[in-house]
Amino acid sequence: MSSAELSVFIRAIGVHTPERTLTNAELSKMVDTSDEWIKTRSGIAERRIAAPDENPSDMGAKAAAKALERAGLTPTDVDLLIVATMTPDVPFPSTACLLQAKLGLRRDIPCFDVSAACSGFVYALQVAKDMMRSGSYRRVLVVGTEKLSSVVDWSDRTTCVLFGDGAGAVLLETTAEKGVGLLGNILGADGNNAELLHCAGGGSAAPATADSLRGGKHFLRMNGKEVFRHAVRVMAESCERVLAKCDVKSEQVAWFIPHQANIRILEAVASQLNVGMDRFPSNLDRYGNTSAASIPLALEEAWKDGKIKHGDLVLIVAFGAGLTWGATLLRWHETSR
């Protein structure tokens, strides 16, 4: 069998969330909002907030270590590391390089970041899959890790209520078994609508200055109404496209694991697909929107709770700043059966 015919599957998964929980009641003391207002508009009751000295690379390393432990492997068994994040520790070097050192991965492997915001984990999966099928890499860590509390304006009630911190990691591995693991992917982007969800300051176009700091240009800004509209349409279309690509019907999919952005978005996507919400597992109420970490966090929870079983078809889908989007259909493969 040629390397291009190899299947790529999730061998193990691990997550990490900060200890601190920030409830809606606590937020109502910080901005003009209420528990009822937040829950009604987003479905979120609380979110995790990283400590000042707890960075995305720290959280990502802990999540990756758990994935390796579940797989019965060590850091030296990893051939490649890809980190999806929109809140890197520093502009450079990459968060992946920092995570490599903290986790103790080999020094002769490539490590790099993928920047696709909330779609980053789905993007990273496709990149990993294609690199693995080149035959050069057998075991790959894909990590989604975010510290969104560091870019949220805590005086803006339209955004600060939505986001939280956390990390999730999957260990991917190749197998000669056909029809398992990552079956098909769809990715897309529309930079013409970049202003709908963005952070204006901090890059080379707008370096940090006293004026930019005073103007709040280093905070996340979002046009919620337009983001909602685009997200529902594109997430539903992405699901339909990847199902058609793999010649699979929606009723054959056991679980849809969407990016955990907003409960109303999830309900609207499920409605467009004519799929019940009972097949859309969500932990949004406890973690909020954790961007690139949200899908692995929800995936791990559904697997740990015994929902996802060997042989199940699982469809993950995301939408984020860029605008970016993506969907991946996979057949869950348990090697320990």
Q: Which residues are catalytic?
A: 118, 259, 289
Helices 35-42/263-273 angle, 10° precision: 20
ω into 258 cis (within 30 of 0):
no
Which residue has tokens 């995301």? 318
Cα separation values, 240 from 78, 212, 243, 260, Å: 34, 42, 5, 19
Rounded Cα–Cα distance for residues 334 and 292 (Å)? 24
